Amino acid sequence: MRLSISLILLLLVSASMELSAETALFITSTPMGANVVVDGSTLSRRTPVLIRNLSTGVHTIELLKLGYVNVKKKNFIRKDEVLTFNQILEYQYIPFVIPTHKYIKINAQPNSRGNFLLKDGTYQFKMQQENLDITPVYPGQRFIDGLNIAIPLLVILSGALTVNEIYNPHNTSRSLSGFTLFSFGVSTALIVADGGLCFARDKYYKDFSIPESEVETDYPETIYKTAEQMFSAGELDKSLHYLDRILKEFTQSDIYPYALFKAAKINIVKDNSSLAQKMLLKLVSDYPLPELYNTAVKSLSDIYLRNGEYKESLDQLSLIVFIDHGFTREDIDFQRYKILKKWAESDKGKIAALKSHVESMVQNYPDSPRYNLYIRILSTL
């Protein structure tokens, strides 16, 4: 009888909870740290970013990062749709990594970095023990080299013609023939051209600089793989040691957010929930990657729940973004039920909210395998 009354009341409920839907966009790039411009407005955060409550329609997305080719694309966003915009950025310059040389000079200038970007072009390399000299070759150097060969030959030819005409004068009013004068004219023109190219070459070397953007290397990836191996073997402390190296030394690496998430998981297992909470909050705030975001939010909710912070636990669940993979709306609503149930055990004033939520679950998920469970729970409230 009690179940029937509950069902009748459920049908009369007009203020039942509705499934929330939103239009959202995850914007990520490889490497991370690209400036994001959406519809002409630059966002305050760099990739990865999560844009919520985005208006429907066509949006122009631009990604800009020093040392990489700018990207500009249009995307159509539908209502209540969650999209992921991921872009692999192309190097604008040539990535160059030299881990074995202690002293490096580029264009005669010392370089303290072992990894850097070289502009497109031709370079000369000179290695001697621990020293490496990298010298850019001026793009017009081939013309200068050609002129340095042609000019002396033309000068010799012009001189030979002049000497020949002095000792073997022609019956003309001019002291030199037209061909000899032409050779002098060509020689003069080539000398002027050579001087101009040499001036341009000097300016090229003077203005040459190495782009300041850092090159991502595979080294942190190797450390992360080692950390994962230690984790799989149950060596949590050793795994945490390698992850901490990434978190301290490779903050700009694309592997950084994954190391942050893995370190948070280990700290949860080691019952260091305070540190895990800080790591997860940083991950959710600064590195909202679609494959990590929801799991990090759910983990934060679980930590708050264990600490008896029920409101904060529910607030975290409201940040979940429902994408194609991961948690379903029913999964999260069922988790809300568990939180409200624990809250109601210590605060009877929350029983009404708990009952209302269960009623909404019965209404929203009639085809769920857990539907009968929801009915039984409702009958006890």
Contacts of 122 (CB under 8 A, 6+ apart): 136, 137, 139
Same domain, 56 and 168: no
Domain membership of residue 223 (yes or no) is yes
Return the SS3 of 324: coil
Phi, psi of 311 (to 5 degrees): -60, -45
pLDDT for residue 5: 35
Domain membership of residue 6 (yes or no) is no
Domain membership of residue 213 (yes or no) is no
Domain membership of residue 12 (yes or no) is no
Read off the pTM: 0.66
How is residue 251 written in tokens? 């903050």
The domain total for the chain is 4
Same domain, 302 and 363: yes
Across the beta sheet with 131-137, the strand order is: 109-111, 103-106, 131-137, 122-128
179, 207, 235: which is the final residue of a domain? 207
Beta strands in the chain (DSSP E): 24-30, 35-38, 41-46, 49-51, 57-64, 71-77, 82-88, 94-97, 103-106, 109-111, 115-118, 122-128, 131-137
Domain membership of residue 78 (yes or no) is yes
**The most confident of 146-160, 212-226, 308-322, by mean pLDDT:** 308-322
Cβ atoms of 39 and 73 within 8 Å: the answer is: no
Q: Which range (97-101, 107-111, 216-220) has the least confidence?
A: 97-101
Cβ atoms of 9 and 352 within 8 Å: the answer is: no
Same domain, 55 and 164: no
- Is residue 3 very low, low, confident or very high in pLDDT (cuts 50, 70, 90)? very low
- Taking residue 351's Cβ as centre, other Cβ atoms within 10 Å add up to 15
Once rounded to an integer, what is the mean pLDDT over residues 173-178?
A: 68
Domain membership of residue 10 (yes or no) is no
The 10s digit of each residue's pLDDT in 320-370 is 998 866 788 999 999 999 999 999 999 999 999 999 999 999 999 999 999
pLDDT for residue 242: 93
Once rounded to an integer, what is the mean pLDDT over residues 14-25?
A: 54
Same domain, 33 and 68: yes
Nearest to 275 by CA among 284, 286, 285, 265: 265
pLDDT higher than threshold 80 for residue 381: yes
Domain that holds residue 196: 141-207
Same domain, 245 and 283: yes
In percent, how much of the chain has pLDDT > 90?
50
Same domain, 80 and 99: no
Same domain, 278 and 155: no
Domain membership of residue 226 (yes or no) is yes
Same domain, 239 and 371: yes
Cβ atoms of 96 and 125 within 8 Å: the answer is: no
Same domain, 309 and 175: no
Instruction: Identify which has the larger pLDDT, 132 or 113.
Output: 132
> Amino acid letter at 275?
L
- Supply the CATH number for residue 84's domain: 2.60.40.10
pLDDT for residue 95: 58
Element (H, E) at 183: helix 178-207
Same domain, 186 and 318: no
- Supply the CATH number for residue 331's domain: 1.25.40.10
Instruction: Report the first-to-last Cα separation within the chain, whole angstroms.
Output: 14
Count the helices and strands in the chain (H runs, E runs).
12, 13
Core vs surface per residue 36-47: b (16+ CB within 10 A) or e: bbbeeeeeeebb
What Rg, from alpha-carbon coordinates, does the chain have?
Answer: 35
Domain membership of residue 9 (yes or no) is no
Q: Could you give the CA distance from residue 193 to residue 190 in angstroms, rounded to a whole number?
A: 5
Q: Could you give the CA distance from residue 30 to residue 339 in angstroms, rounded to a whole number?
A: 37
Nearest to 340 by CA among 361, 371, 365, 367: 361
Nearest to 251 by CA among 33, 44, 88: 33
pLDDT higher than threshold 70 for residue 147: yes
Same domain, 196 and 155: yes
How is residue 235 written in tokens? 């060596």
Same domain, 235 and 365: yes
Please state at what angle helix 219-232 crosses helix 256-269, rounded to 10 degrees: 20
